[in-house]
């Protein structure tokens, strides 16, 4: 049985850690596995529950090692358990409000409950659903408007729902909704889907899936709850109404980086900018996952970035500790030299008692050794 507990000299004390990881999606959890396994005291802060967008995905088919597919919830639980067994401290429902230098190379991370300090920070805050901000969208949130089919799909058993969007999330979550709803209407502003080909084939083959092309929603209708959606054709400008009991939005994502404005460099859309080794423009601060400027948003990609971030943090902390180790070695050398000098002085004391100076005694001894026998 392997001992996977943190050594005593790495136990967090007074809210100070080797590394604070912001976000517990696939990137953050992977970084936690690598950091904790390297025996760095590691805390992971997640504003919701762990898993991020991954946990909201009903079926994951393209993550290596699961030929029969796996649910996002199950994959999240496996990653959580793996990070925890190496000693990572996961704190869910904890919102990071601010982050700032704390002096002496440390960073201060302020949450809604406490302040933590760390030698390094890994930013993996993830993304959230983009909102269209059309009339009725905010008003009916939780009363027919949703951004998570996995969370709310079972509420629409035997009903009709609309899905806004045409990418992977829209189509895959629409397919999930067909397990409950009698009809799923996909409203897309283009004349073809952007989802992967496998998802498209399944959607077109599913008799419960219906498609409204070249259209976008104008407003959500209803009194106490959602009763329909008004949409407009972008080519003919014709306006129509679709009676539905729920509307699910999948029109893109925005990064959860508001707390990082003026802290690290962001691009024009709010994504974190890094170099190839995932270093931000601030020393000791790294970033990975969907909130970073990446060409694709996939679990496998996020896991790879989490691994790289964890490895880079380990190297960074080792570098920080090298000067201290060098100073300690120098102090030991100086102490040994002082002891040697004291011992030499004690030996020279015998010469002094005879009235001869140490130099003279040394000279005599040397002369005597040179005399022939």
Question: Residue 41: is its pLDDT beyond 60?
Answer: yes
Catalytic residue among 18, 89, 152, 168: 152
The mean-pLDDT minimum among 109-113, 210-214, 324-328 falls in: 324-328
* Strand pairing category for 160-164 and 183-187: parallel
Look over the chain and give the mean of its residue pLDDT values, rounded to a whole number.
87
Active-site residue, selected from the candidate residues 112, 151, 182, 267:
151
**What CATH code is assigned to 145-251?**
3.50.50.60
Active site residue 288: no
- Domains 8-128+254-317 and 145-251 are alike in CATH topology: yes
pTM of the full structure: 0.75
Is 148 annotated as catalytic? Answer: yes
- pLDDT at residue 124 above 90? yes
7, pLDDT greater than 70? no
Decide yes or no: CATH 3.50.50.60 for domain 8-128+254-317: yes
Residue 342 tokens read as 């004291």
| pLDDT tens per residue across span 43-102 | 999 999 999 989 988 889 899 999 999 999 999 999 999 999 999 999 999 999 999 999
- What's the rounded Cα separation, in Å, for the pair 86 and 104? 28
Domain ranges of the chain: 8-128+254-317, 145-251
Q: Which residues, in sequence order, are CB contacts of 126 under 8 Å at separation 6+? A: 23, 25, 27, 28, 52, 53, 255, 256, 289, 290, 291
Name the β-bridge partners of 231.
217, 240
Residue 362 has pLDDT above 60, yes or no: no
> What confidence score (pLDDT) does residue 358 get?
38
Q: What's the start-to-end Cα distance of the chain, in Å? A: 71
Q: Whose CA is closest to 189, among 208, 209, 217, 161?
A: 217
Within 10 Å of residue 44's Cβ, how many Cβ atoms?
28
Please tell me the predicted confidence (pLDDT) of residue 340.
76
d(CA 170, CA 205) in angstroms, rounded, equals 16
List 74, 148, 214, 348, catalytic entry: 148
| 3 assigned to active site | no
At 62, list the tokens.
């393209």
Higher pLDDT, 322 or 291: 291
pLDDT exceeds cutoff 50 at 363: no
Q: Extract the runs of DSSP E, i.e. beta strands, from the chain.
A: 16-22, 42-45, 89-91, 96-103, 106-111, 115-123, 127-129, 145-146, 160-164, 183-187, 209-212, 215-222, 226-233, 239-243, 246-249, 253-255, 285-287
């Amino acid at each position: 049985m392997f001992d996977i507990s943190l050594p005593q000299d790495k136990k967090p004390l007074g809210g100070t850690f080797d590394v604070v990881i912001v976000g517990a999606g696939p990137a953050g959890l992977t970084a936690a596995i690598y950091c904790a396994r390297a025996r760095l005291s590691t805390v992971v802060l997640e504003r919701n529950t762990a898993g991020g967008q991954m946990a909201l995905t009903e079926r994951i088919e393209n993550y290596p090692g699961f030929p029969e597919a796996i649910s996002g919830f199950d994959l999240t639980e496996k990653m959580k358990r793996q990070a925890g067994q190496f000693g990572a401290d996961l704190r869910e429902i904890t919102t990071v409000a601010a982050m700032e230098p704390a002096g002496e190379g440390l960073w201060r991370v302020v949450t809604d409950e406490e302040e933590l300090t760390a030698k390094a920070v890994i930013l993996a805050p993830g993304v959230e659903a983009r909102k269209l901000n059309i009339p009725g969208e905010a008003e009916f949130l939780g009363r027919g408007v949703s951004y998570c089919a996995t969370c709310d799909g079972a509420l629409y058993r035997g009903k009709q729902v609309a899905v806004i969007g045409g990418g992977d999330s829209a189509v895959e979550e629409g397919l999930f909704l067909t397990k409950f709803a009698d009809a799923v209407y996909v409203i897309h502003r283009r004349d073809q889907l952007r989802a992967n080909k496998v998802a498209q084939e399944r959607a077109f083959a599913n008799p419960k899936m219906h498609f409204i092309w070249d259209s976008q929603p104008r407003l959500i209708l209803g009194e106490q709850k959602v009763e329909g959606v008004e949409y407009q054709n972008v080519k003919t400008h014709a306006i129509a109404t679709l009676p539905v009991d729920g509307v699910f939005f999948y029109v893109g994502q925005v990064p959860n980086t508001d707390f990082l404005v003026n802290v690290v460099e962001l691009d024009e859309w709010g994504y974190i900018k890094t170099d190839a080794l995932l270093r931000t423009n601030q020393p000791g601060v790294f970033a990975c996952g969907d909130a970073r400027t990446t060409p694709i948003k996939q679990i496998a990609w996020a896991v790879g970035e989490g691994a790289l971030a964890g490895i880079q943090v380990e190297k960074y902390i080792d570098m920080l500790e090298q000067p201290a180790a060098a100073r300690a070695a120098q102090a030991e050398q100086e102490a040994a030299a002082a002891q040697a000098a004291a011992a030499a002085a004690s030996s020279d004391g015998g010469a002094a008692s005879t009235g001869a100076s140490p130099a003279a005694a040394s000279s005599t001894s040397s002369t005597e050794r040179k005399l022939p026998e």
